[in-house]
């Protein structure tokens, strides 16, 4: 039997909020859109609940900013978008036999495009299309080096023949995913592009020209105009984090907020947190913030990150001290502080002087994608009007 999580607490009474600013997503989409030629469409990638921002809000905001496609991993997410009345072409690319049996007929019926990355997947889509009584619109995924899903370039002829013989599918697209577009010096991207182009050319010998070709993620959208092709699939840039340096103005769409629970002056020698990894050398004032790893902070960032505290006498950047606990962190407010319980704390986000998800990622050796998608279900999302 399947069980669904039941919130233990009324979200209205929880101390933390992920404040989502849909206008940031709209403006980011507009900024990315302005870098694309008129024949390139912008697909907003809203998988993983819109990178933690809320899938539907993210999708609507990106469409308002000029995105004309939506991309999600799971077919269930694609259906949720359709059922919410979102009227844009959608591509779903990650499914297994169970989802294929239970969801793909409905997905195909709804006119959602489906990615196929193996012969077995082609058979499953074809069966689902037969059940739906409607041809499936398929994008063929070509594995050019990610080694995840996708037909290897070396077996493209076999796939081409199978597609040619299958009257339940229409091949509308061919795509691949770049492994290191965020490192412009890595020649691997060009090797992938070469493999992709060769495979698409051979595919065309079986099925004719493939209408939609796409391979660019945010990094390639921002730094490789030569790879824009028919669609760019952008996620992280729309949420405000450019994976490559450049002058596309983007701003974070999520601000993670908390507030001070307690303020406490302490003497030199005070130890802090589990494992007492931090001992203070000077007296200071500690601030207790009721947010921890159960809310999505990375425990490994302990003692290496900071927050912004908004006190009556101004904003202060307060280093986080010691290990991060499940529900709380301790920050250093300094000796001369006006901070009081109830003062707003910005853990990361869109505020002058505040740390970003990139800063928190840097503290742990991860990427802002993981920081954003880690903000847990315990943190209510407040969507700005
Ligand atoms: C297949 C695919 N395309 C595009 C994206 C978007 O990538 P980014 O967020 O780097 O733009 C993702 C996200 O990981 C993805 O899985």
CATH of residue 349's domain is 2.40.37.10
For residue 3, the SS3 value is: coil
| 380 CA → ligand 1 middle, Å | 25
Are residues 131 and 231 both part of a single domain? yes
Instruction: Report the nearest atom of ligand 1 relative to the CA of 237.
Output: 11
* Planar angle of CA 18, 79, 95, nearest 5 degrees: 95
Helices (H) and strands (E) in the chain, counts: 12, 20
What are the tens digits of pLDDT across the range 278-323? 999 999 999 999 999 999 999 999 999 999 999 999 999 999 999 9
Q: Does 221 reside within a domain? A: yes
Q: Does 71 reside within a domain? A: yes
- Ligand 1 pocket (Cβ < 6 Å) reads 45, 93, 177, 217-219, 233-237, 243
Are residues 216 and 264 both part of a single domain? no
What are the tens digits of pLDDT across the range 236-273? 999 999 999 998 999 999 999 999 999 999 999 999 99
The residue annotated as part of the active site, out of 51, 241, 274, 293, is: 274
What are the tens digits of pLDDT across the range 2-52? 777 666 788 888 999 999 999 999 999 999 999 999 999 999 999 999 999
User: Which of 214, 239, 264 is at the close of a domain?
Assistant: 239
Are residues 293 and 168 both part of a single domain? no
User: Which of 239, 266, 292 is at the close of a domain?
Assistant: 239
Are residues 180 and 41 both part of a single domain? yes
**CA 297/CA 180 separation, integer angstroms:** 26
C-beta of residue 53 within 8 angstroms of C-beta of residue 79: no
- The reported pLDDT for the residue numbered 8 is 73
- The reported pLDDT for the residue numbered 142 is 98
Are residues 322 and 211 both part of a single domain? no
Q: Does 249 reside within a domain? A: no
Q: Does 121 reside within a domain? A: yes
pLDDT at residue 84 greater than cutoff 80? yes
Q: Which residue segment(s) compose the domain that 160 sits in?
A: 22-239
Give percent of the chain above pLDDT 70. Answer: 99
Are residues 228 and 270 both part of a single domain? no
Instruction: Report the nearest atom of ligand 1 relative to the CA of 175.
Output: 1
| 234 CA → ligand 1 middle, Å | 6
Q: Does 72 reside within a domain? A: yes
Are residues 216 and 290 both part of a single domain? no
Residue 274 annotated to the active site = yes
Q: How many domains does the chain have?
A: 2
């Amino acid at each position: 039997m399947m069980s669904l999580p039941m919130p233990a607490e009324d979200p209205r009474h929880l101390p933390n909020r992920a404040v989502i600013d849909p206008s940031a997503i709209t403006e980011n989409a507009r900024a990315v859109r302005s870098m694309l030629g008129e024949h390139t469409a912008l697909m907003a990638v809203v998988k993983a609940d819109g990178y933690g921002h809320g899938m539907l809000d993210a999708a609507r905001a990106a469409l308002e900013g000029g995105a004309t496609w939506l991309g999600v991993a799971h077919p269930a997410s694609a259906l949720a978008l359709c059922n919410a009345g979102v009227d844009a072409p959608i591509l779903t690319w990650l499914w297994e036999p169970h989802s294929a049996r239970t969801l793909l007929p409905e997905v195909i019926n709804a006119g959602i495009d489906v990615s196929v990355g193996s012969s077995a997947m082609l058979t499953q889509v074809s069966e689902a299309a037969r059940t739906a009584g409607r041809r499936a619109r398929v994008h063929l995924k070509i594995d050019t080096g990610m080694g995840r899903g996708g037909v290897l370039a070396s077996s493209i002829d076999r796939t081409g023949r199978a597609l040619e013989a299958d009257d339940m599918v229409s091949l509308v697209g061919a795509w691949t995913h770049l492994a290191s577009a965020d490192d412009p010096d890595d020649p691997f991207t060009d090797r992938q592009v070469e493999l992709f182009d060769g495979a698409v050319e051979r595919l065309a010998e079986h099925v004719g020209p493939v209408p939609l070709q796409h391979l660019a993620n945010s990094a390639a959208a921002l730094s490789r105009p030569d790879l824009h092709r028919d669609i760019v699939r952008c996620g992280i840039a729309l949420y405000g984090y450019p994976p490559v340096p450049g002058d596309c103005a983007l701003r974070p769409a999520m601000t993670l907020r908390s507030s001070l629970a307690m303020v406490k002056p302490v003497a030199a020698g005070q130890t802090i947190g589990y494992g007492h990894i931090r001992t203070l050398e000077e007296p200071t004032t500690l601030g207790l913030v009721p947010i921890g790893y159960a809310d999505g902070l990375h425990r490994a960032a302990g003692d290496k990150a900071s927050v912004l505290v908004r006190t009556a006498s101004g904003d202060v950047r307060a280093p986080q001290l010691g290990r991060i606990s499940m529900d709380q962190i301790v920050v250093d407010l300094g000796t001369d502080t006006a901070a009081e319980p109830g003062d707003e704390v910005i853990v990361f986000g869109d505020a002058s002087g505040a740390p970003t998800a990139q800063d928190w990622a840097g503290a742990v050796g991860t990427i802002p994608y993981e920081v954003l998608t880690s903000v847990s279900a315990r943190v209510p999302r407040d969507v700005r009007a």
